Amino acid sequence: MSRLGDLIRTERIRQKMTPKQVARKCGVSESYLVAVEAGTRIIADDQARRILKAIGLKQQTEAEFTLDDIAATVDLAQVQPRLAEAVKKPPKKEAELAASSEDEGVAGSVWLDALQSVLKRVPVMNAVMKPVAYRLVPVENGRIEGANPDKVFFYLAPDDSMRGFRIHKGDIVLTVPAQSPVDGAIMLMNYKEHRYLRKVKVLDDRQVLLQSYDREYEAETVLISEIGFLSRAVQVTFELQA
C-alpha cells in the first residue's frame, strides 16, 4: 500500500464506509478507489484531499498538518486495534453517515489522533514572545525532550550575543521549561526588563554568572533573585545560507 492509500483506507474503515459509498460521494469509480488503497494507482495530493474531505475531513482541522506530515508520520500499526473494532460493525447507511459525520468530523479521526500522538505543532516565539511561525516536533511517550509538549517552544535568537556558543541571530532555539538556574545550560530569562539567552554558571545558592560571547567573551555576576528564568535551551536549528 501507499501511505496516502493507507490513510484513505484507514479513515474510510473508521467511518464505517464501503469503497462503493466513498467512490459515489467523491465522483470516482470504485475500482479506482480500491486501487488507490491497494497502492497500485498513484493519487495526486489534491485528489487525496477531496476524498478525505468527503469521508469526513474538516479543512480547519487539517490546516495544522499537511498530508505529507500525516503520511510520513502516522504508523498505522498504532491504530490497528481500533480498525479491528471498526470492521466488526456493519457500514453506516447514508442517512446515518450524514448525521454522524457532521458531529464527528475529522476531530475524532483515527489518523489525526495518531498524528497528534507523535507530532506537536510548536510555536516559534520572537523577542517579545509572539508566535511568528510553527514547526512540527516529534513527541515521544507523550513528551518533548522530557517536557510537557504544551510548555515547549522555539525562541528566535534576536542577535549575535551568543554566537561564541554557536547560536547566531535568526537561529531557532528549542527550549523546555526551567524556572531555576541549571549549571552549564544556555537559558532564556528575563533580566532588567529585557529577555536574554545566556549561558549560566551557578556560583552558589544566591548567585550565578551570566555569560555571553559576541565579538568577545563577557560575564556578569547576578543575584538569582533578580532573574526570572523561563526555559532551558536543548536544541538549535539554523538555516543554510543560499
User: What mean pLDDT value characterizes the chain?
Assistant: 79
Please give the share of the chain, as a percent, with pLDDT higher than 90: 46
> Grid coordinates standing for 193?
526588563
Indicate whether 101 pLDDT > 50.
no
The CATH class of the 3-119 domain is: mainly alpha
Q: pTM of the entire structure?
A: 0.57
Residue 229 DSSP label = E
Burial of 148 (C-beta count, 10 Å sphere; 0-12/13-18/19+): exposed
DSSP structure class, residue 163: G
Cell readout for 42 is 498513484
Residues forming beta bridges with residue 20, ordered by sequence position: none
| pLDDT (0 to 100) of residue 118 | 72
User: What's the pLDDT tens digit per position in 153-181?
Assistant: 999 999 999 999 999 999 999 999 999 99
Angle at 74 between CA 70 and CA 77, to 5 degrees: 155
Nearest to 28 by CA among 15, 41, 10: 41
Q: Say if residues 211 and 199 touch (Cβ distance below 8 Å).
A: yes
Higher pLDDT, 232 or 11: 232
Buried-exposed string 64-92: b where 16+ CB fall within 10 A, e elsewhere: ebebeebbebbebeebeeeeeebeeeebb
Per-residue pLDDT of 193-212, as tens digits, reads: 899 999 999 999 999 999 99
Name the class of domain 126-237. Answer: mainly beta
Q: What residues contact residue 129 under an 8 Å CB cut-off, 6+ apart?
A: 195
Phi, psi of 120 (to 5 degrees): -130, 135
Q: Do residues 183 and 202 lie in contact, with contact meaning Cβ atoms separated by under 8 Å?
A: yes
Are the C-beta atoms of 133 and 140 separated by less than 8 Å?
no
pLDDT digits (tens, 9 = 90+) for 115-161: 555 778 899 999 999 999 988 888 888 889 999 999 999 999 999 99
Alpha helical stretches, state H, the chain = 3-14, 19-26, 30-38, 45-55, 59-62, 67-73, 80-88, 94-104, 110-118
Q: Which residues are CB-neighbours of 85 under 8 A, at least 6 positions away?
A: none
Which ranges in the chain are annotated with CATH 2.10.109.10? Answer: 126-237
Half-sphere exposure of 131 toward its Cβ, with a 13 Å CA cutoff?
A: 8
Q: CATH 1.10.260.40 in the chain, residues?
A: 3-119
